[in-house]
Structure 1
Amino acid sequence: MKLKIAIQKSGRLHDDSVKLLKDCGIDVKNGMNKLKTESDNFPLEIYFLRDDDIPQYVEDAVADIGIVGENVVFEKQKKVTEVEQLGFGKCRLSVAVSRNEQYTGVEYLQGKRIATSYPVILEDFLKARGVTAEIHEISGSVEIAPGIGLADAIVDLVSSGSTLFMNGLKEVDTVLKSQAVLIRNNELAPEKLAILEKLLFRIRSVKKAKNNKYVLLNAPNDRLQEIIGLLPGMKSPTVLPLAESGWSSVHSVLSENEFWDIIEKLKDAGAQGILVVPIEKMIV
């Protein structure tokens, strides 16, 4: 039995989705010109589909699981379960207006015409704030709508904001923060749930590795306890004696979020020869 996963055929999530599976040790053949392929070393079938169609395929059990943007999950409102946030494909669904407009808050949108590819999310956003507006659903090139007189504002996905800038727009409010997520069918058979758990174990190990660094350093023994106190590690740092008397080698793992602050404190505490090594997999 194989677990069927749907990923984006092309677009901003495709490359990272394939890379995640490969980082999990799963052999994925090139699917750019295929709709389906299979892994040789893991019980997985991979379907390459349009991003917007993936929630429907998962709800209908054509695919058991899928990798898709949270924005699509919220917009399509299909009966699926979000299993895991994957940490890539991060973006914002934002309100943008002409650069010369004075945006005073969400009340600015009252009675305005708003162009978007996400009418469901936008309607919920406006309703929750007591704002009534005219929503124009557009499937693509939303950013040109104000320039051609179709809309007063837009709600669209934003990563860097460069596309908005080139079209004379500015980002003024955030409707939703999104990233790639793993979703599953709500009625998976126990055998497929077991395969999914194995896949999740690998995914979580890869995610932990990306968020942590392996650190090796040399510490004077008279300041060893102070240095160890700065290194949380997975349980506690590993300490090994060096050939040079009075010194020890200390090995530990640091979170990416706290890395630079702790490195500076380690130097101030007398640590030398600090090496930082990326972690490929991290099993805890």
Structure 2
Amino acid sequence: MSLLQPYFQQCPSAFTPAFSISTPCPSIYISVSKRTFISCCSSQSQTAVVNGKLDARIVERDEIRIGLPSKGRMAADTLDLLKDCQLSVKQVNPRQYVAEIPQLSNVEVWFQRPKDIVRKLVSGDLDLGIVGLDTVSEYGQGNEDLIIVHDALEYGDCRLSIAIPKYGIFENINSLKELAQMPQWTVEKPLRVATGFTYLGPKFMQENGLKHVMFSTADGALEAAPAMGIADAILDLVSSGTTLKENNLKEIEGGVVLESQAVLVASRKALIQRKGVLDTTHEILERFEAHLRAVGQFTVTANMRGSSAEDVAERVLSQPSLSGLQGPTVSPVFCKRDGKVSADYYAIVICVPKKALYKSVQQLRAIGGSGVLISPLTYIFDEETPRWRELLSKLGL
């Protein structure tokens, strides 16, 4: 970094290298197959290098910026989630990188590569973003300015995992401990790992006592690297594991570096210093929580005879699948008989998960329920979402 320091002093808005690795263990090496360029660009961000780290200050602008993935399955699923939460993204031209969410005032949507979303959150060019936890962990590198606002958006599920060949010297190796104890790995001949995660990989190996390891990047599918003889193992994202099996590779016990899915991440500085960011984050978080909590839940309504609401409630609560979120709602159903208004029936309303739906209907019938109506839930709003309290606690507010 010493050779780059004068450049950063001349051009404070220069991009940082694609990745920066610090390896306290001298036996862990990182070999990068692609050249890294540093270029100067025009930006409103105020950046500086302090003790070798990028220091971002709040950017002087009025609009709130949210970064979304620009391509792939993650991009499509993110837009679907926002639409389900009544936060549809309005994009005039699909080739444009800037859009808006009409329901959120003074908000700009910027479509970016996931890793660039994380970098621009750190630099102050974005305030909020939706990316995979693996991307935040790899490119955020533990930066304290990055705050995970929602850690489980329930899509983009995968795991960052070590995989080795099923054959040869690895045939009987089934755990990370066994891999580390193999006598083949020395300073002169380290374990060669092909990966795109050149921060999380070395960090994980160091924490687990693997001393003689060399990491390298590779173009194209990493699964081919062991068969081609350019790597002994790979460290890559795995969803179903089918691709690994088709290439005669296997995951090993203790070799999962990170469980990942889509998360909502924010800049701490933006949340505290930029007007409107905290309120906008609160609204997005509440919409996400209400929708995700309602997924797979149904409202079940039925009528039941009873002498009182308490009598009906007691019969309902005697069944294990009929308790609902906080208990059943029981209210009188009024009808007119012989010129008089009376309540011979009571209406029961409960919330039931999909997997227990039919069983709940059976239990309702067993205690005298009739006229059962079922409808899917769209939102379940709590009085206050726990994640909002956690966010305020992280911010010291």
TM-score w.r.t. the length of structure 2 is 0.64
Identity within the alignment, %: 30
Deviating 4+ runs (over 6 angstroms): 242-247
Q: Secondary structure at the match of 2:257?
A: strand
Indicate conservation of the 8 Å contact 2:64/2:277, yes or no.
Answer: yes
- Structure 2 residue identity aligned to 1:207: L
Q: Which runs of 5+ in 2 are unaligned?
A: 1-61, 186-190, 336-342, 383-397
- Structure 2 residue identity aligned to 1:83: V
1:104 aligns with 2:170: no
1:4 aligns with 2:4: no
Change (3 A) 1:277 1:140: farther
Corresponding position of 1:186: 268
Taking the aligned partners of 2:89 and 2:125, their CA distance within structure 1 comes to 19
Change (3 A) 1:171 1:275: farther
Indicate conservation of the 8 Å contact 1:27/1:42, yes or no.
Answer: no
Deviations 1:117-163 (A, max 9, x none): 11211222211111122222235411111111111211111111121
Corresponding position of 2:37: none
TM-score w.r.t. the length of structure 1 is 0.86
Taking the aligned partners of 2:130 and 2:219, their CA distance within structure 1 comes to 21
1:61 aligns with 2:124: yes
Deviations 1:12-64 (A, max 9, x none): 31011111221221231246422111122322211111111111011112111
Corresponding position of 2:241: 161
Indicate conservation of the 8 Å contact 2:194/2:217, yes or no.
Answer: yes
The structure with higher relative contact order (CA 8 Å, sep 6+) is 1
Q: Which runs of 5+ in 1 are unaligned?
A: none
Of 212, 232, 236, 1:152 maps to: 232
1:198 aligns with 2:283: yes
Indicate conservation of the 8 Å contact 1:81/1:183, yes or no.
Answer: yes
Indicate conservation of the 8 Å contact 1:39/1:45, yes or no.
Answer: yes
Indicate conservation of the 8 Å contact 2:300/2:349, yes or no.
Answer: yes
Taking the aligned partners of 2:284 and 2:94, their CA distance within structure 1 comes to 23
Q: Secondary structure at the match of 1:214?
A: strand
Deviations 1:160-184 (A, max 9, x none): 1121122222222322100111111
Corresponding position of 2:82: 21
- Structure 1 residue identity aligned to 2:73: R
Corresponding position of 2:146: 80
Taking the aligned partners of 1:56 and 1:180, their CA distance within structure 2 comes to 17
Q: CA deviation at 1:232?
A: 3.2
Q: Which structure 2 residues correspond to residues 1-284 of structure 1 after superposition, within 5 A? A: 2-30=63-91, 32-43=94-105, 44-76=107-139, 77=141, 78=143, 79-85=145-151, 86-100=153-167, 101-110=171-180, 111=185, 112-132=191-211, 133-138=213-218, 140-172=220-252, 173-188=255-270, 189-210=274-295, 212-217=297-302, 221=306, 225-229=314-318, 230=320, 231-240=322-331, 248-255=346-353, 259-260=355-356, 264=359, 267=362, 270=366, 276-284=374-382
Indicate conservation of the 8 Å contact 1:238/1:251, yes or no.
Answer: yes
- Structure 1 residue identity aligned to 2:257: V
